Amino acid sequence: MAEEVCNKQVILKNYVIGYPEESDFQIITGSIKLKIPEGTKDAVLVKNLYLSCDPYMRFRMTKVDGPTLMDHFVPGKVINGYGVVQVLDSTHPAYKKGDLAWGFTGWEEYSLNVSPPLLIKIVHTDVPLSYYTGILGMTGVTAYAGFHEVCSPKKGEYVYVSAASGAVGQLVGQFAKLMGCYVVGSAGSKEKVDLLKNKLGYDEAFNYKEEPDLDAALKRYFPEGIDIYFENVGGKMLDAVLLNMRENGRIAVCGMISQYNLEKPEGVHNLSVLIAKRVLMKGFVAHDFYPKYPEYLQMVLPYIKQEKIVYVEDISQGIETAPASLIGVFTGLNLGRKLVVVAHH
């Protein structure tokens, strides 16, 4: 007989309007047998070790009609997202007990993932395992793809990153420095600005909340204009950036976190700048670049080991902290990659 254990789970209580609140979620305790049910093929039963709190998850808290990039969460059901897992049982030919992987899993202690849509086996374990929720996972691919593939940076170019100390932003800044670019980041607190300047190697950084005129702030930090904007926030910030783009500039649209909780997104007024300045603006999704993951790993692992790249994590302990951790991302409470430790390896 398989052992049946408690399984704490994070449930969406209701669709979210505006900013998500803790009360939109609930922790319940279910139970699970730590063995894959007889006859269930291509399944992995995993212990969830780390869960990452990602801005894109906001979309999934609201029901939208029509096709979307990912299914929305269903009230009353456990939510899911990126995480690091350890395989406890497997009927999937690619996995065996003890394997570590990152990818999609439930926000719960244990998950039975049938035909896991996205799990990538972890081969390199001489780095912090939690990094696979960030620099070594989807987040890393996002920063790499958005900066290198979408923006085609050149040495000496002027790069601006918003939400610059976040899970993705902190990497973009460091990739840009490694390319020999001049990099300025913005964030929403003094602590984050200090992090950008003192730990993450940004040439300059500023607190956007203390800038009544974002256009003026950008003109101060980029008197020559901006070649590359790594867009994480949208709205007013994008409008100000547009006024400061240089000819043939590139904007990688990774996210627009300032807009996700608004019932009607802010209007962006300065798009006609795209014409005269020949600016490219391109949305992208990390998923499309997963075929480049091995190449990315090969590049980034040595940088991590040589401490040429650092990665700042903001870690909460225990699945009970998961709802608060997730919603804190939308008010900027996190300092770096926000993640939840569900269990230690």
Whole-number Å distance between alpha carbons of 61 and 47: 24
Nearer to a second copy, 47 or 282 (CB): 282
Whole-number Å distance between alpha carbons of 215 and 219: 6
Nearer to a second copy, 211 or 215 (CB): 215
Please pick, from the candidates 234, 323, 328, 336, the single residue that binds a second copy as defined by CB under 8 A.
Answer: 234
Please pick, from the candidates 281, 310, 315, 343, the single residue that binds a second copy as defined by CB under 8 A.
Answer: 281
The residues, ordered by sequence, that sit 6+ positions from 38 with a Cβ below 8 Å of its Cβ are: none
Query: Which helix (H) or strand (E) is 276 found in, with range?
Result: helix 273-276
Q: Does residue 226 interact with a second copy by CB under 8 A?
A: no
Output the smallest distance, CB 320 to a second copy, in A: 31
Q: Does residue 261 interact with a second copy by CB under 8 A?
A: no
The residues, ordered by sequence, that sit 6+ positions from 328 with a Cβ below 8 Å of its Cβ are: 53, 334, 338
Q: Does residue 270 interact with a second copy by CB under 8 A?
A: yes
Q: Does residue 269 interact with a second copy by CB under 8 A?
A: yes
Output the smallest distance, CB 334 to a second copy, in A: 20
Please pick, from the candidates 285, 324, 333, 335, the single residue that binds a second copy as defined by CB under 8 A.
Answer: 285
Query: Which helix (H) or strand (E) is 50 found in, with range?
Result: strand 43-52
Q: Identity (one letter) of the amino acid at 171?
A: L
Q: Within positions 6 to 65, which residues make up the interface with a second copy, using CB under 8 A?
A: 59
Whole-number Å distance between alpha carbons of 284 and 142: 8
CB 57 within 8 A of CB 81: yes
Nearer to a second copy, 51 or 251 (CB): 251
Output the smallest distance, CB 229 to a second copy, in A: 13
Q: Identity (one letter) of the amino acid at 207?
A: N
Q: Does residue 276 interact with a second copy by CB under 8 A?
A: yes
Helix (H, G, I), strand (E, B) or coil at 27: strand
- The count of residues interacting with a second copy (CB under 8 A) is 34
Nearer to a second copy, 94 or 271 (CB): 271
Nearer to a second copy, 143 or 341 (CB): 143
Residues in contact with a second copy, shown as a per-residue x/- string from 185 to 224 under the rule CB under 8 A:
----------------------------------------
Please pick, from the candidates 14, 29, 68, 198, the single residue that binds a second copy as defined by CB under 8 A.
Answer: 68
Q: What is the DSSP string of 169-220?
A: HHHHHHHHHHTT-EEEEEESSHHHHHHHHHTS--SEEEEGGG-S-HHHHHHH
Q: Work out the angle at residue 275's Cα, subtended by the Cα atoms of residues 273 and 277, and round it to the nearest 5 degrees.
A: 70
Nearest to 98 by CA among 345, 318, 341, 339: 345
Q: Which of these ranges, 86-94, 117-125, 175-183, 254-262, lies near a second copy under the rule CB under 8 A? A: 254-262
Whole-number Å distance between alpha carbons of 63 and 70: 11
Nearest to 174 by CA among 183, 162, 163: 183
Output the smallest distance, CB 238 to a second copy, in A: 7
Nearer to a second copy, 281 or 333 (CB): 281
Q: Does residue 268 interact with a second copy by CB under 8 A?
A: yes
Please pick, from the candidates 267, 291, 298, 344, the single residue that binds a second copy as defined by CB under 8 A.
Answer: 267
Please pick, from the candidates 33, 72, 197, 282, the single residue that binds a second copy as defined by CB under 8 A.
Answer: 282
Footprint of a second copy (CB under 8 A): 59, 68-69, 234, 238, 253-256, 259-260, 264-285, 288
